C-alpha cells in the first residue's frame, strides 16, 4: 500500500495555461465518456469490489456526481496548495476502503495498479470521446493530455510509475488490461443494467416523479445501449454483452450530437452550474432557487399531463412527506432512505462510513477533525451492531432495525452529534452561525432552528440530530443532508 505522499519538488506543473483536460469539464460529450470510463473502472476486480462494498453511486448518484466533479476541479486547480490538499483528502478516503470480494480476493483502494487503471480509463475515454464525435485528437495533443493524466496520478501516488511513460507503451498496457484483467463484475453490471433504469430524480425533479419515471423509461435504456456500444470489443465479448442492432449508429449519433456544442458561444454550458442547479431544493436561499421554483412549477404541469396519458404510481418521497407535515416516517422507509447508504438492503459499516464521508466532504474537513468524525461513526456502528444484530451475521437487516429502533439514540449517537457540531462550529463560538449552517446544510437557517441571537446552539443541534437519526421524526434540513439522491 502506498503512503499517498505528494511529491512536488522538481516536477513540471500539473496544470498548464492551456490544459486539454480542463477544456473537457464543460463539454457535453464528457458526460457520455465519464459513464463509459466508470464501467471500465468497475470491470477491474479490485475497483469493482470496492465500489460494490463502499460506494453510494446507485442510491445517491447525484450526490456522488457533485462530489466527484468538485474533487476533479480541485485536483486540476492552478494552485498547487489546493491540489495537494485534495490529493491528501482522497488518499485518506481510499485508505479506509479495503476488504474481500465475493470470491475471497482482497481489494485495497490504495492499490497502485488499481488507481493507475482509474486514470487510464479517464484518459482513454477522453480520446475515444473525441474520436467518436468526429474530432480525433492529433498525436501532439494526445501526448500532452496523457502527460496531464500521469501528473494527476503522480499527485496522488507520489509518482506515475504505475502507468507507462510513453503513449505507445500505454496503448499496449491498455489492451493487455482489457484482455487479461477486466471481468464482468457485479459493479459493472449494476451500472449498465440497474443504475439507468432506477436512477432517482435529482432535487430539481423530486416533485414530478411521474414525469421523471416516464423520461427515465426512455432515456435510461438509450444510455445503457450507447455505453455498451462504446466499450472495447474485447471486453464486450468477455462480458457477454449483447449486440443490439443499430447500437453503433445510435452511439455515433449521440457523440456527434453532443459534439455540436462546440459551436455554442463560450460559457453557455457550465457543468458546475448545471450540477448545482439540479441539487437545489425549492426552500434553498440560493438566488437560483427562484428559477428552480419556476422550473418545478412548469415540470409539475407537464407531469400532470403525462399522468393523464401514462398513469404511474406516484408515491411521495421523503421531501414530500416532510413538506406535508408528517412528523415521522415508517421505520423501514427511514432504513432504506437514510441508513442504507450503499443500497444493498443492510446496514453495516460502509453505510455509516459513507455518512461520515459525505459530512466530511461538505464541511471540507482536514485532520484531525476528519478522523474524529469517522471514529465517532465507528463507535456508533459498534453500538448499533451490539443492539440490533440479533442473528450475529455482522450486519443489520431492515427487519432487525424495525424491531430495535428504540435502541438507536444511545451514547455513541450522541457523540456523533457532538463531534459533528464541533466540526461545523468552525470558529469555536459554541453556536453555529448562518455561514456555518449554510456550509453543512447548503441553505439558510430555517425559522424553527434559529434563536433570538441568530445562532444554532449545541443542545438544539444535538437534539435535532438525535431525533432525525433515530428515526423519530422527519426534519427539513437533515433529510437532504443524508437522504438526497
**From first to last of its 485 residues, what are the pLDDT tens digits of the chain?**
333 333 443 444 454 546 767 778 788 899 899 999 999 999 999 999 999 999 988 888 888 888 888 898 888 888 889 989 999 999 999 999 999 998 999 999 999 999 999 999 999 999 999 999 999 999 999 999 999 999 999 999 989 999 999 999 999 999 999 999 999 999 999 999 888 888 888 877 776 777 788 888 888 899 999 999 999 999 999 999 988 999 999 999 999 998 888 778 877 777 777 777 777 666 666 666 666 666 666 666 665 665 565 544 444 333 333 333 445 567 888 898 889 999 999 999 999 999 999 999 999 999 999 999 999 999 999 999 998 999 999 999 999 998 877 556 789 999 999 999 999 999 999 999 989 998 998 877 765 555 556 688 999 999 889 888 877 666 667 877 888 77
The reply to whether 336 and 202 lie within a common domain is: no
Q: What is the pLDDT of residue 449?
A: 54
Confidence (pLDDT) at 408 = 66
Please check whether residue 274 lies inside any domain of the structure: no
351/334 Cα distance (integer angstroms): 13
Q: Does any domain span residue 29?
A: yes
Q: Which domain holds residue 118?
A: 20-261
What are the b/e assignments for 337-358, b being 16+ CB within 10 Å?
bbbbbbbeebbbbbbbbbbbbb
Cis peptide bond prior to 368, omega within 30° of 0: yes
Cα separation, 469 vs 479, in Å, equals 10
Q: What pLDDT score was predicted for residue 6?
A: 39
Q: How far apart are CA 70 and CA 49, in angstroms?
A: 24
Dist CA 244 CA 34 (whole Å): 22
pLDDT value of position 194? 85
Residues 250 and 369 in one domain: no
The answer to whether residue 219 is domain-embedded is: yes
Amino acid 290: pLDDT: 63
For residue 282, being part of any structural domain is answered with: no
Distance CA 311, CA 139 (A): 53
The strand ranges marked E within 73-193 are 98-100, 106-108
Instruction: Go through 215-240 and write b for each residue having 16 or more CB atoms within 10 A of its CB, e for each that does not.
Output: ebeeebeebbbbbbbbbbeebeebbe
Which of helix, strand or coil describes residue 111? coil
Q: Which of residues 241, 261, 281 is at a domain's end?
A: 261
Record the cell numbers describing residue 51, joined without a space.
Answer: 465500489
CA–CA gap between residue 409 and residue 396 (Å, rounded): 16
In SS3 terms, 447-466 reads as HHHCCCCCCEEHHHHHHHHH
The secondary structure of residue 432, as a DSSP letter, is E
Cα end-to-end distance, the chain, whole Å: 32
Q: Are residues 234 and 379 in the same domain?
A: no
Task: Decide which of 261, 282, 303 is a domain's last residue.
Answer: 261
Please tell me whether residues 159 and 237 are part of one structural domain: yes
Q: Can you give the pLDDT at residue 283?
A: 62
Residue 103 covered by a domain: yes
Q: For residue 473, what is the DSSP state?
A: S
249 and 336 both lie in a single domain: no
Among 261, 277, 312, where does a domain finish? 261
Q: What is the pTM of this model?
A: 0.83
Looking at the structure, do residues 242 and 329 belong to the same domain, yes or no?
no
Whether residues 337 and 194 share a domain: the answer is: no
Count: domains in the chain: 2
- Provide the grid cell at 229: 456500444
CA distances from 265 to 314, 356, 428 (A): 40, 41, 46
pLDDT of residue 149: 93
Length of the chain: 485
CATH code, 451? 1.10.238.10
Which letter does DSSP use for residue 67 in this model?
H
Shared domain check, 247 and 331: no
Q: Please enumerate in sequence order all residues whose Cβ is within 8 A of that of 439, keeping only pairs 6 or more positions apart, or say none.
A: 362, 363, 364, 424, 426
Amino acid at each position: 500500500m502506498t503512503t499517498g505522499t505528494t511529491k512536488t519538488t522538481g516536477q513540471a506543473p500539473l496544470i498548464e495555461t492551456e490544459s486539454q483536460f480542463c477544456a473537457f469539464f464543460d463539454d457535453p460529450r464528457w458526460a457520455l465518456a465519464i459513464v463509459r470510463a466508470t464501467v471500465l473502472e468497475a470491470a477491474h476486480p479490485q475497483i469493482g469490489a470496492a465500489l460494490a462494498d463502499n460506494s453510494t453511486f446507485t442510491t445517491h448518484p447525484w450526490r456522488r456526481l457533485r462530489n466527484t466533479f468538485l474533487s476533479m476541479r480541485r485536483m486540476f486547480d492552478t494552485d498547487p496548495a489546493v491540489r495537494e490538499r485534495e490529493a491528501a483528502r482522497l488518499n485518506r478516503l481510499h485508505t479506509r476502503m479495503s476488504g474481500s470480494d465475493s470470491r475471497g480476493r482482497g481489494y485495497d483502494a490504495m492499490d497502485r495498479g488499481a488507481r493507475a487503471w482509474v486514470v487510464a480509463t479517464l484518459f482513454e475515454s477522453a480520446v475515444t470521446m473525441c474520436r467518436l464525435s468526429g474530432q480525433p485528437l492529433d498525436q501532439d495533443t494526445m501526448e500532452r493530455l496523457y502527460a496531464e493524466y500521469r501528473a494527476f496520478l503522480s499527485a496522488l501516488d507520489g509518482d506515475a510509475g504505475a502507468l507507462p511513460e510513453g503513449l505507445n507503451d500505454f496503448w499496449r498496457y491498455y489492451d493487455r488490461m482489457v484482455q487479461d484483467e477486466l471481468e464482468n463484475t457485479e459493479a459493472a453490471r449494476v451500472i449498465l443494467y440497474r443504475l439507468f433504469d432506477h436512477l432517482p430524480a435529482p432535487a430539481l425533479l423530486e416533485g414530478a416523479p411521474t414525469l421523471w419515471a416516464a423520461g427515465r423509461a426512455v432515456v435510461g435504456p438509450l444510455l445503457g445501449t450507447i455505453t455498451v456500444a462504446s466499450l472495447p470489443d474485447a471486453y464486450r465479448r468477455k462480458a457477454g454483452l449483447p449486440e443490439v442492432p443499430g447500437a453503433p449508429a445510435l452511439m455515433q449519433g449521440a457523440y456527434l450530437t453532443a459534439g455540436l456544442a462546440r459551436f455554442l458561444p463560450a460559457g453557455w454550458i457550465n457543468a458546475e452550474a448545471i450540477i448545482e442547479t439540479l441539487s437545489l431544493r425549492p426552500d434553498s436561499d440560493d438566488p437560483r432557487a427562484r428559477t428552480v421554483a419556476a422550473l418545478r412549477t412548469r415540470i409539475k404541469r407537464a407531469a400532470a399531463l403525462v399522468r393523464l396519458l401514462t398513469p404511474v404510481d406516484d408515491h411521495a418521497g421523503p421531501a414530500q412527506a416532510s413538506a406535508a407535515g408528517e412528523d415521522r416516517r415508517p421505520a423501514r422507509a427511514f432504513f432504506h432512505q437514510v441508513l442504507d447508504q450503499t443500497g444493498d438492503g443492510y446496514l453495516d459499516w460502509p453505510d455509516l462510513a459513507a455518512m461520515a464521508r459525505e459530512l466530511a466532504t461538505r464541511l471540507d474537513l482536514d485532520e484531525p477533525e476528519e478522523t474524529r468524525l469517522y471514529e465517532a461513526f465507528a463507535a456508533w456502528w459498534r453500538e448499533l451492531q451490539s443492539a440490533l444484530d440479533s442473528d450475529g451475521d455482522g450486519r443489520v437487516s431492515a427487519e432487525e432495525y424495525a424491531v430495535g429502533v428504540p435502541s438507536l439514540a444511545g451514547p455513541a449517537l450522541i457523540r456523533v452529534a457532538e463531534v459533528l457540531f464541533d466540526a461545523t462550529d468552525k470558529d469555536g463560538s459554541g453556536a453555529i452561525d448562518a455561514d456555518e449552517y449554510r456550509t453543512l446544510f447548503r441553505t439558510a437557517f430555517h425559522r424553527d432552528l434559529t434563536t433570538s441571537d441568530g445562532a444554532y446552539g449545541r443542545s438544539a443541534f444535538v437534539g435535532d440530530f438525535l431525533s432525525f437519526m433515530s428515526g423519530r421524526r422527519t426534519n427539513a434540513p437533515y433529510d437532504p443532508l443524508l437522504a438526497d439522491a
